[in-house]
Amino acid sequence: MSGALVGRTAVVTGASSGIGAATARELTRAGAAVVLGARRMDRLEALAAELGGSGAAVAIAATDMRREADVVGLFALARERFGGVDVLVNAAGLGKRAPLGSAPTELWREMLEVNVLGLAIATREAIRDMERRGAAGHIVHVSSMAAHRIPSPDAAMYAATKFAVRALTEGLRQELRARQSAIRVSAVSPGHVETEFAEVFAGRPEARTETYGRFKVLEAGDIAAAILWVVTRPPYAEVHDVLVRPTAQRN
Ligand SMILES: NC(=O)c1ccc[n+]([C@@H]2O[C@H](COP(=O)([O-])OP(=O)(O)OC[C@H]3O[C@@H](n4cnc5c(N)ncnc54)[C@H](OP(=O)(O)O)[C@@H]3O)[C@@H](O)[C@H]2O)c1
C-alpha cells in the first residue's frame, strides 16, 4: 500500500452511506487504515469486504451516534486494532423536514443529537486519544452550505445544527491554539450531493430524483476528494472550511 496516509488511522462516522462511505474509500486509497461506524452493519460489512479486497486495513462497529457508549467504543476499537486515531471524519448526520411551527420535538432532537452532540462527543474522544499519544491529528467536520445560510423555510432546525457545527469548528480551533496543540480542525461544507440525504430529509424515496434530478449535483466522491485534500496539507496549513456547491445550484 502506498499513499499520503500510509501508517495513519482514520475513524469515519456515517460510513454506511453517501459521503462517509466515499470518504472511507478515498482514505484507504491513500493508504490509511480505517475504523468505520454507523448503525447499519450490513452496509459496513459490505464496505469492509470491498476495501479489504483492495488490501486496506478496516475495522467496523455498530455505532448509533445518539448513544455515547457506542461512540466511545468506536475509539476503543481504533486503539485496540490500530493503536489510536490520527484523523477523524465526522460524516454521520441527517436532515429532516421539520418546520418550527409544527414539527414534533423528536425530529429536532434527532438532528441535534446526531449532528451536534454526537459530533462533539466523537471529537472529544479523538482529541483525548491524539493527545495521549502526542499525535498531530486532524478532525474534519462534514458541515453544510446550510451552516452559511438557511436553505429553505422547512430546514431551519437542520441549518441550526450546521450553524452549530460551524461554531464548534472555530471554537475548537481557538481551544487547540490556546494550548499550542498540533491538532488541526477543518470543516467541509457541501451544497447538494447525491446521497440518501434527500430521501431521509423528506421521508419519501421519490425525493431523491426530485432533489438531485433537476441539475447535475455533486457526487459523494467530490466531497471525499476535498476531505483527502484537507487532511494532506502540510502541518503548518490548517484549512478552515471548504464550501462546495454544484455549479448549477442557485441558492
Ligand atoms: N447530501 C447532501 O446534499 C449534503 C449536503 C450538505 C451536507 N451534508 C452532510 O453530509 C453528511 C453525510 O450525509 P450524506 O449526504 O452522506 O447522507 P446519507 O447518505 O444519508 O448518509 C448519512 C450517514 O449518517 C449516518 N447516520 C445517520 N444517523 C445516525 C445515527 N443516529 N447514528 C450513526 N450514524 C448515523 C448514516 O448511517 P446509518 O443510517 O447506517 O446509521 C449514514 O451513514 C451529513 O452530516 C449531512 O448533513 C449532506
What is the whole-number distance in angstroms between the Cα of residue 129 and the centre of ligand 1? 24
Q: Are 143 and 162 in contact (CB under 8 A)?
A: yes
Longest dimension (CA), the chain: 53
Ligand 1, closest atom to CA 44?
40
- What is the DSSP secondary-structure string of 187-214? EEEES-EESSHHHHHHTSTTHHHHHHSS
Compute the C-alpha angle 158/159/164, nearest 5°: 100
H helices present in the chain, as ranges = 18-29, 41-53, 68-82, 105-111, 119-133, 156-178, 197-202, 207-212, 220-231
Right CATH number for 9-244 from 3.40.50.150, 3.10.20.600, 3.40.50.720, 3.40.50.300? 3.40.50.720
**What whole-number distance in Å separates Cα of residue 200 and Cα of residue 238?**
32
- Ligand 1 site, residue 91, Cβ cutoff 6 A: yes
What is the whole-number distance in angstroms between the Cα of residue 248 and the centre of ligand 1? 23
- Ligand 1 site, residue 114, Cβ cutoff 6 A: yes
pLDDT in tens, the chain (251 residues): 679 999 999 999 999 999 999 999 999 999 999 999 999 999 999 999 999 999 999 999 999 999 999 999 999 999 999 999 999 999 999 999 999 999 999 999 999 999 999 999 999 999 999 999 999 999 999 999 999 999 999 999 999 999 999 999 999 999 999 999 999 999 999 999 999 999 999 999 999 999 999 999 999 999 999 999 999 999 999 999 999 999 999 99
Q: In testing the pocket of ligand 1, which one of 12, 17, 60, 143 has its CB within 8 Å of the most ligand atoms? A: 17
Model confidence over 161-179: pLDDT tens digits? 999 999 999 999 999 999 9
Ligand 1, closest atom to CA 220?
16
Cell of 215: 441539475
Smallest CA separation from ligand 1 atom 23, residue: 14
Which pTM value belongs to this model?
0.99
What is the whole-number distance in angstroms between the Cα of residue 181 and the centre of ligand 1? 29
- Among 82, 158, 201, 212, the active-site one is 158
Cell of 113: 443529537
Q: What is the 3-state secondary structure (H, E, C) of 67-93?
A: CHHHHHHHHHHHHHHHCCCCEEEECCC
Active site residue 236: no
